[in-house]
């Protein structure tokens, strides 16, 4: 195998993943030609925190649309599996994901090594008392604007809505991981959503090599050692194989 220079001597890898890594699992991305927001711009307003809390009709339409992003029936694809296998090969792999679908963990990536920057669709919490339940259980109730069964408060899936701040402790951990990485890979992200996208710059300024795998150009392409435009389901297994091979040579 002809190994790329950026793969050589690498043992610590940080991976930022966006919606594009899950499209092969049947979950649409957001900003692509067939993306959720592109095809139905109205949904953007439903995922706005201020509107969600202020308007019961917005919440009813939100819950009705949730199946678009839920992903409960989706299965990990070749890219998710390749990243899990890279970890299993003995490298220090940390995944910083903008996705809320849980597919990295289901593919075999260690739970504690996956940081869900934008939350998880798997659980729903009460915005008043903080109690948490499975989103599937909330949906099974069939209510158009479900309320907390404990206190009657507004329920929100445990995801970050537009206008809502990311967990600062979690973001700090992600930044530390980016700084410690020798290689930072951004996969399937438009890199338009900050502060998550800015982790690319954090990594590069700390000395990491940056590889971007994405169909379209991103604001961080100029910082990258390599930009890969091949389909993610092909590109990610190939680059993971190259990193693992270089690691074996290093050993």
| Cβ proximity of 208 and 183 under 8 Å | yes
- Of 6, 127, 142, 152, the closest CA to residue 64 belongs to 142
What is the spatial distance between Cα 241 and Cα 251, in angstroms, rounded to a whole number? Answer: 15
| Cβ proximity of 182 and 91 under 8 Å | no
DSSP annotation of 147 reads B
Question: Between β-strands 132-134 and 114-116, what pairing exists: parallel, antiparallel or unpaired?
Answer: unpaired
Q: Which of 80, 104, 118, 247 is catalytic?
A: 118
| 3-state class (DSSP) for residue 2 | coil
What is the spatial distance between Cα 26 and Cα 4, in angstroms, rounded to a whole number? Answer: 31
Q: Is 118 a catalytic residue?
A: yes
Residue entry with tokens 């020798």 = 182
- Of 69, 27, 32, the closest CA to residue 47 belongs to 69
Please give the full DSSP string across 128-143, using - where no structure is assigned.
TT--EEEHHHHHHTT-
What is the spatial distance between Cα 86 and Cα 145, in angstroms, rounded to a whole number? Answer: 42
| 3-state class (DSSP) for residue 74 | coil
In sequence order, the β-bridge partners of residue 133 are 124
The set of catalytic residues is 118
């Amino acid at each position: 195998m002809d190994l790329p220079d950026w793969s050589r001597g690498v043992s610590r890898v940080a991976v930022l993943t966006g919606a594009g890594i899950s499209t092969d699992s049947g979950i649409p991305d957001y900003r692509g030609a067939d993306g959720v927001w592109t095809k139905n711009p109205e949904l953007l307003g439903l995922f706005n925190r201020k509107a969600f809390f202020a308007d019961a009709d917005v919440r009813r339409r939100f819950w009705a649309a949730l199946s678009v992003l839920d992903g409960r029936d989706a299965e990990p694809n070749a890219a998710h599996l390749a990243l899990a296998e890279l970890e299993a090969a003995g490298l220090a792999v940390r995944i910083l994901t903008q996705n809320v679908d849980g597919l990295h963990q289901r593919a075999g990536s260690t739970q504690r090594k996956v940081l869900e920057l934008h939350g998880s669709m798997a659980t729903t919490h009460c915005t008043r008392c903080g109690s948490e339940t499975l989103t599937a259980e909330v949906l099974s109730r069939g209510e158009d604007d479900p309320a907390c069964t404990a206190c009657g408060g507004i329920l929100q899936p445990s995801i970050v809505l537009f206008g809502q701040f990311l967990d600062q402790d979690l973001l700090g951990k992600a930044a530390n991981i980016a700084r410690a990485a020798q290689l930072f890979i951004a996969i399937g992200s438009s890199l338009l959503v900050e502060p998550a996208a800015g982790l690319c710059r954090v990594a590069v300024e700390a000395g990491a090599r940056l590889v971007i795998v994405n169909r379209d150009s991103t604001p961080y392409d100029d910082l990258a050692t390599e930009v890969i435009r091949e389909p993610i389901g092909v590109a990610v297994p190939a680059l993971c194989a190259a990193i693992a091979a270089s690691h074996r040579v290093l050993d």
